[in-house]
Chain A
Amino acid sequence: MQEVVVLGVGMHRFGKTGDAIVGNKSVTELCRAAVDMALKDAGVSWRQIEAVSAASSRFSGGKGWGLNGNDIVEDMGSTGIPVYNLSAGCAAGGNAFNIGYSLVAGGIHDMVLVVGGEVMPKGMIQTSGLDDVNDPEYLRQRCVGMPGPTFWSTLARRRMYDYGTTEEQMAKVTVKARQCAVGNPYARFQKAVTVEEVLASPYVSDPLRLFEICPVSNGAAAAIICSAAMARRFTRKPITVATSTVATISFDDALPRSLAGPVPSGPSFHTEAKSAVMRAFERSGIGPSEISFTELQDNTCYYELAFPEEWGLCAEGEAERLVEAGETAPTGRMPINPSGGFVSFGEATTAMGVFQIAELTWQLRGEAGARQVPNARVGLAQTNGLGGNATAAILKR
C-alpha cells in the first residue's frame, strides 16, 4: 500500500437557496468553486488529476442519475479521466473519500480529486420517492409517518431515560457548536446563540428543537489526495491519511430501519458508525486517547453526546458533564466539531464527508483561526447515511 496524503482542500460556504451566500448557484457551480480552491491549495493543475471520486446526489445535477462527478469533469474540462460516482445517502462524501483513498493506496492512481456538493430541496427530506408496498421506506411513511428527525428524537429520548440527560444539556451542545462557527467563514450560521434561545426554538420532533437539528443546506467541498511520494513535489507539509473506512449497520441494531426487527439482546446503538470508527482505530493503530479532535455527524446535538462514549473517547454517561465543563470546545480535553458541525452548516448531504476532510486538514495545518484546536495532531472524521451506511477517517500531521 502507498501512503496517502491530503494535498489540498476547498469549500464553498454553505447557504440556503436564494440567500446572499449561494443564491441560485447550481451544484456544479458550487463544486467548481470548491475544486478550484482545492487545486490552488494543492498547487496542482486540472490536467494533473488522474481520477475523480465523487459523491452522487439524488437531489440535484448528475443528469438525474447521480452522475455528479461527470458534471464536474465536463465543467472543468473533459480530459478523459475515470470518474467514480458513489452513492451512500448522507455518507456518500465519506464513501467518495474512501474510494479515492483506496485508489491511491492501492497504487491505481497517484492524484485523485474527491468532491461532494449539493443543492437541496426545501424542508424535510422525503426518504421514499416510490409508491411501492415492497419498499420499506414507503411502508414506514404510509403506515406510521416518521419524518427524518424522529429517528434522532427517539434515540435522544432513550438517552434521557438511560442517563438522565436534560433538554438544557442538549441545548448546551448547540450553544457550543454555534460558538465554534462564529469563527468559521464557511459556516452558514455564524452567530452565537444562548441556551435560552435554543430552548425557545420550536420542537421539530420533541425532545429535539429547531436549533438542535441541522437544516438542509447548499454547499460543496473538495479534496486533492495523492501518494506521499508524489506529494514531495508539491509540499513539505502534507497531511497524512492514517486510514479511511466504510461500514454498514448490523443485524442487531437497536433501531428498526424498516417497520420492525428482533428485540436486541443488549445495547446496540448506531452500529454502523461504531463499526466504521472501530475499524479506523484498528487499521491505523491509533487509539481514542490519541485523537486530538473529532468531526462527527451531528445531524442533531444528541450525537455529540452518544458517539464519543460509544467510540471510547470518553467514559459511558460522561458526555453531558464534559459538555457542561467546556471540554468539547476547541480548547477542551475532547474537542468535538470545532468547525461548528452540521448544526451550524446545515447538511448539504453528499458534501459532508468531504467537508470533514477539509476541516481536519485546516485544523492539522494550524490554519483554523478562531476555532483552532491547540496543537492538533490527529483528527477523526465520521459520517452516517441512509440505508445503514457509515464512514470514518483518521488524518494526522
Chain B
Amino acid sequence: MSTLREPCVPGLFSEENGASLLGARCRCCGTPYFPTPSHCRSPDCAGSDLEPQAFSGGGVLWSYSVANFPPPPPHQFDAPFKPYVIGVVDLDQGLRVVGQMIGAAADMRVGARVDLVIDPIYHEDGKAFTSWKFRLA
C-alpha cells in the first residue's frame, strides 16, 4: 500500500502532469514570481499584470550548500536527521529558485543540469509530506 502524499504547504506546487511550481509572470515586464505576489514587484515596471505560470522542467545548479545540522522549526524532518543539500537553481524558464537536492554533497557540481521533482521531506501520521526538490539530470 502506497503512503498518502500531502504537500507540506498546499497550493504552491503540483505533481499532476509532472512536477511544477505554481507561480506567475508579469505580462508587462516578464518578471517571473514564485510564489505569486499580489502585484509585480519590479521597481522598473510601471504596470502590473500578473498571469499564472507553472514553472517546470530543467535548470542549472547555480550554487549549493549543505544543512549539516537540522534547521530550527518550522522545518520538519525524519529522525534521525541526515544532512541534505540545498540547491539554488536557475530554471530554463528564467526563475532562480531554492530547494532541497536529492543526492549527496559529493555528487554535486556547480553548473550541473538538474530537474524539478516533487518528493517527501518528512513523514507524519502515516502521510508523506512533500515539497519541491531538484535531482541531477
Contact = CB atoms under 8 A, between A and B. Distances in A.
Interface of A: 123-126, 128, 131, 133, 138-147, 149-151, 153-155, 157-158, 161, 202-206, 251, 255-256, 259-264
Q: Which of B68, B73, B99, B131 has the most CB of A within 10 A?
A: B68
A158 B110 contact: yes
B68 A203 contact: yes
A206 B33 CA distance: 29
A205 B67 contact: yes
B86 A154 contact: yes
Q: Which of A146, A251, A263 has the most CB of B within 10 A?
A: A263
Nearest to A149: B65
A154 B65 contact: yes
Contacts, number: 130
A142 to B, nearest CB: 5
A260 B97 contact: yes
A131 B75 CA distance: 11
A158 B94 contact: no
Contact of B98 (A153, A203, A260, A262): A260
Contacts of B33: 260
A122 to B, nearest CB: 11
Interface in B10-61: 12, 21, 23, 31-35, 41-44
Given A143-B131, A157-B64, A251-B42, A256 B88 contact: yes
A143 B9 contact: yes
A260 B95 CA distance: 7
A371 B118 CA distance: 53
Contact of A153 (B66, B72, B110, B131): B66
A161 B64 CA distance: 11
A205 B34 contact: no
Given A251-B41, A259-B35, A260-B96, A205 B66 contact: yes
Interface in B79-94: 83-84, 86, 88, 90-91, 94
A264 B75 CA distance: 28
A204 B12 contact: no
A339 B65 CA distance: 29
B98 A205 contact: no
A155 to B, nearest CB: 7
A141 B69 contact: no
A259 B74 contact: no
B67 A255 contact: no
A123 B76 CA distance: 17
Contacts of A157: 63-65, 110
Q: Which of A138, A143, A259 has the most CB of B within 10 A?
A: A143
Nearest to A152: B65
B71 interface: yes
A144 B9 contact: no
24 contacts: A124-B72, A126-B73, A139-B9, A142-B74, A142-B76, A145-B67, A145-B84, A147-B70, A150-B67, A151-B65, A154-B63, A157-B63, A161-B110, A161-B111, A205-B67, A256-B88, A259-B98, A260-B33, A260-B96, A261-B95, A262-B96, A263-B91, A263-B94, A263-B95
Contacts of A262: 31-32, 94-96
B9 A142 contact: yes
B129 to A, nearest CB: 9
Contacts of B66: 150, 153, 203, 205-206
Q: Which of A131, A139, A264 has the most CB of B within 10 A?
A: A139
A264 B32 CA distance: 11
A154 B71 contact: no
Nearest to A148: B71
A150 B96 contact: no
A146 B73 contact: no
B88 A154 contact: yes
A145 B77 contact: yes
B118 to A, nearest CB: 11
Contact of B71 (A124, A161, A202, A251): A124
Contacts of B110: 157-158, 161
B74 A138 contact: yes
B39 to A, nearest CB: 14
Contacts of B69: 124, 147, 204-205
Contacts of B73: 126, 141
A206 B88 contact: no
